[in-house]
A and B are shown apart, each in its own frame.
Chain A
């Protein structure tokens, strides 16, 4: 089965840039989506289709995808960005979603 690998944690100071990676074999050929899950809340879609943002998501959130690594970049990090972030692709052979293990973003 297809496995997405994320770092367990990323820490960044307010105002700096956070980069959260999602690694997999040839992930650049797939469409990657990212979700934010604050404690006690439901996940929220923050990036879809590698780099598109849903309406209402700040421009500070951006995504990229190339070869074996997809990246969610959060610019000018704020305290409210502290959350778990999950990447997701669709496994066409199994016809189901695959999620990364999640990355906890800590704002120092």
Chain B
């Protein structure tokens, strides 16, 4: 079945870049997403990438997609303490791509 994997923890120093990695299994995924969840809150859509793209940049966020290896990454430049959260990778599956499969989430800790 579909599976999305992520490393569970990442610690970086404030001002450094963070790179969160994700691997997925469904090669027919149309879109891949990154969501951010702060404690006790819902999920905030950060960015998404269409499967025929290999890179997307949005301010401090850079998404890289290697479709051959089914590998997705999220790079956060100049990481701030406010970036501390859980980051979920998700792939869209199904005939209309409407169902999402989420990874376990990567807990990013930003150290001062």
A and B from one complex: no
Q: Which residues of A contact B (CB under 8 A)?
A: none
